[in-house]
Amino acid sequence: MPSRFSARISRLTFPEPLLPPLFTLHSIAFAWPGNRDAIPLRSPATDRLVGIEPEWIAGRRSAVAAYVRGARPAVRVVFARAPGGRRELTCRIGADGSPGISTRRVSLRFGPDGLSAPVTFRTARRFPNRAGIERPEWRWHVTVDDRRCEIGTSEHEICLTWRRPLSPSMWAEPDAFAADGAWSYLPVMQWTAEWAAGCRNAKEICDAMLAALPRSGLRYAAPAWTVRDMLLKGGGYCGGWYRMFQAMAGAQGIRLERRAFLVNWEMLPKARAKWCALVVTDPGLNRSRPVETASRFHDADERPISRSPVRSVTRRRYRFWGQPGKLGDGHCVNFLRFRGRWYLYDASFRSAAVRLGRFALPRSNPARAVAVGTLGTFRRDYLDRAVGYMLGSLPGDGRLYETQHPDPGQPDPLGERVVNGLSVETSIVPEAGTTISFFWV
């Protein structure tokens, strides 16, 4: 007859032994070659695709991936056999979290290196249907013989774009990476996905990007003119900035036009030049002052220009020079066509878009100068505010102020040997007589 003690022991319940770890997470790939769902990202440091190896590798790597908003992507996962674990087994694997990974039945076979072949999983739900950055944490688990075991946690950064990115042929060097299709540089994708969060259309996204540009840390007037060089050197001149802003919009699937308007160095009688340069007083993005060395300016700010009192000052200002008989310098900007109107974006000097009225985008034509008076409100709403002065060889205050242009054979990047002519406040230049015109390319 069993004792009272043995009966009490028989009624006790013991917890089921924990399932020993059979394997762990090794790597997770998002933008593997041939995966059309993920957006390819490129590292500016190496110019190689980020997804050339798995974006997440346990203990070693956690790189960014990108998709169009609302995506329900697939991922490829490799597992590593634990010491003493089976070489082959059939189980169910999934991951908790947001949006989580759908559990599926898997047959694993571990090779001599201890790794499984890649297994494709799909997220349990879609990512949010909005641009932005998601940072999911996935808690992976395996179920074998009705017993469940945790096998690791992975954390990720996922950029969600407003639309599918546009081809880099719009902003990259000619024929650059043409075979790779649509892709974006990694920092550009991270910035724009964050800045576009909460925006509802292309105009709101472009406005948000322009306002947020200082947060990129990129500056105006660094020696770079391409998107990659700007990312490596921390900024660029306007010829790089209008490509960069176009690349940023393109990362969100928005098409921008870009144009450069160049100084028309037009000779007048007695060897006078109507205009020789644009003069900009704004220091530029993330600058406290212009980088050019201070020079002597002769400012006229009253009409008529020929009899205006001239004020001579020594100042740091940018001068964008034309060239006699040739295409010279000017300024580079972007344009967005939205709901039947044109909006101008000047990433170098302006923090807000300029709405243009009665404006038609000039064709790229280096052979014909276009008078600004024919461009709707371009002059009134943008040029008069963005370009402080037009500099030329013109009479003023009873004498001729002549510009001495630098010798093309002797580089003078900061314009230290130039003699400035008359700098006329742009807003007082008459529409007729001393007309401003530009070449557009």
- Predicted pLDDT at 228: 97
Which residues have CB under 8 Å from 384's CB, separation 6+? 426, 427
Residue 175 has pLDDT above 90, yes or no: no
Measured over the CA atoms of residue 104, residue 109, residue 115 and residue 120, the dihedral's sign is negative
Regarding predicted confidence, which is higher, 12 or 69? 69
Of 270, 367, 291, 281, nearest in space to 325 by CA: 367
Share of the chain above pLDDT 70, in %: 91
Mean pLDDT over 427-433 rounds to 86
Mean pLDDT over 412-433 rounds to 82
Alpha-carbon gap, residue 419 to 97, rounded angstroms: 67
Q: Give the pair of three-digit tokens for residue 52.
A: 């050339």
- Predicted pLDDT at 15: 46
Measured over the CA atoms of residue 311, residue 317, residue 319 and residue 320, the dihedral's sign is negative
Q: Give the pair of three-digit tokens for residue 180.
A: 């790779």
- Predicted pLDDT at 14: 45
Every domain range in the chain assigned CATH 2.60.40: 23-161
Mean pLDDT over 67-86 rounds to 97
| pLDDT, mean over the chain | 92
**How many angstroms separate the first and last alpha carbons of the chain?**
105
Cross-sheet strand order for the sheet of 354-356:
354-356, 341-345, 330-338, 257-263, 437-440, 365-371
Of 141, 20, 146, 26, nearest in space to 85 by CA: 20
Mean pLDDT over 375-399 rounds to 96
- Predicted pLDDT at 434: 77
The CATH topology of domain 23-161 is Immunoglobulin-like (2.60.40)
Alpha-carbon gap, residue 332 to 239, rounded angstroms: 6
Measured over the CA atoms of residue 219, residue 217, residue 163 and residue 203, the dihedral's sign is negative
Which residues have CB under 8 Å from 341's CB, separation 6+? 355, 356, 357
Q: Are 293 and 417 in contact (CB under 8 A)?
A: no
- Predicted pLDDT at 412: 55
Per-residue pLDDT tens for 392-420?
A: 999 999 999 999 876 555 555 555 678 99
pTM of the entire structure? 0.92
* pLDDT band at residue 209 under the 50/70/90 scheme: very high
* pLDDT band at residue 334 under the 50/70/90 scheme: very high
Of 181, 182, 191, 131, nearest in space to 161 by CA: 131
- Predicted pLDDT at 291: 97
* pLDDT band at residue 433 under the 50/70/90 scheme: confident
- Predicted pLDDT at 384: 98
- Predicted pLDDT at 405: 75
Per-residue pLDDT tens for 244-272?
A: 999 999 999 999 999 999 999 998 888 78
Mean pLDDT over 14-22 rounds to 57
CA distances from residue 182 to 203, 217, 279 in whole angstroms, order as listed: 22, 25, 38
Residue 10 has pLDDT above 50, yes or no: no
Q: Tell me, letter by letter, the H, E, C secondary structure of 146-159.
A: CEEEEEEEEECCEE
Residue 154 has pLDDT above 70, yes or no: yes
* pLDDT band at residue 181 under the 50/70/90 scheme: confident
Residue 331 has pLDDT above 50, yes or no: yes
Mean pLDDT over 336-363 rounds to 98
* pLDDT band at residue 440 under the 50/70/90 scheme: very high
Per-residue pLDDT tens for 132-144?
A: 999 999 999 999 9
Alpha-carbon gap, residue 180 to 364, rounded angstroms: 28
Q: Are strands 23-29 and 158-161 parallel, antiparallel or unpaired?
A: unpaired
Q: Using only C-alpha atoms, what is the Rg of the chain?
A: 31
Residue 82 has pLDDT above 80, yes or no: yes
- Predicted pLDDT at 283: 98
Residue 9 has pLDDT above 50, yes or no: no
Residue 436 has pLDDT above 90, yes or no: yes
Regarding predicted confidence, which is higher, 167 or 2? 167
Of 216, 212, 219, nearest in space to 185 by CA: 216
Q: Give the pair of three-digit tokens for residue 358.
A: 């009665």
- Predicted pLDDT at 375: 97
Element (H, E) at 186: helix 186-195
Which of 178-192, 286-300, 415-429 ranks highest by mean pLDDT? 286-300
User: 176-213: buried (b, 16+ CB within 10 Å) or exposed (e) per residue?
Assistant: ebeeeeebbbbbbbbbbbebbbebeebbebbbbbbebb
